[in-house]
Amino acid sequence: MKCPYCREMESRVTDSRSIKDGRVIRRRRECLSCQKRFTTMEKVEEEPIMVIKRDGRKEVWDGNKILAGLLRATEKRDVSISALQEIVEHIEQEVQSLYPREVPADRIGALVLSRLRFIDEVAYVRFASVFRQFKDINSFKEELDRMSEPD
């Protein structure tokens, strides 16, 4: 691993620990040349998941897009960023296990809504209004009725 300070290639690992449910290894390294320490992350290289958009286009999975949508939905709400990041991580894991190569965007939206519903109801309705493309007030009412139904 190349040292980010002096560009030397030789370093030694001083500490390793597993993070993100064992999917990533965080390594603390020390450069053998300049003795400065730096951190690296190691994760298994996976085949990218393709998201099939409503219009048929395909895009590579990007959890940051989901996070951005969640941030917009929870704007001025008392929801922590870590809770939103956890939603994205859980959805990514679920998508990887259920859809090995391609997943419809509608399925991702439904997964987001299923988790967001229990975190913040206002954020749920905000996200649903964009995801479900509400056309009028009746669409909102139907969603609110659906939301009040027990699981």
pLDDT of residue 21: 74
pLDDT digits (tens, 9 = 90+) for 2-44: 999 999 999 999 999 998 777 789 999 999 999 999 999 998 7
pLDDT of residue 151: 61
User: From the first residue on, what is the mean pLDDT of each consecutive set of 10 residues in the chain (151 residues)?
Assistant: 93 91 89 96 84 94 94 94 93 88 93 92 89 82 77 61
The span from the CA of 145 to the CA of 139, in Å, is 10
- Other beta carbons within 10 Å of 116: 25
Look at phi and psi of residue 3 and say left if phi exceeds 0, alpha if psi is from -120 to 50, else beta.
beta
pLDDT of residue 15: 94
pLDDT of residue 136: 82
The span from the CA of 77 to the CA of 119, in Å, is 10
Q: Where are the domains of the chain?
A: 11-43, 50-148
Record the tokens describing residue 108, joined without a space: 């991702």
Question: For residue 109, what are the CA distances in angstroms to 18, 89, 116?
Answer: 30, 14, 10
Q: Which residues of 32-60 are buried (b: 16+ CB within 10 A; e: fewer)?
A: eeeeeeeeeeeeeeeeebebbeeeeeeee
Residue 127, SS3 per DSSP = helix
Contact call for residues 107 and 99 (beta carbons, < 8 A): yes
The angle at the Cα of 12, spanning 9 to 13, to the nearest 5 degrees, equals 125
> Cβ contacts of residue 48 below 8 Å, gap of 6+?
60, 61
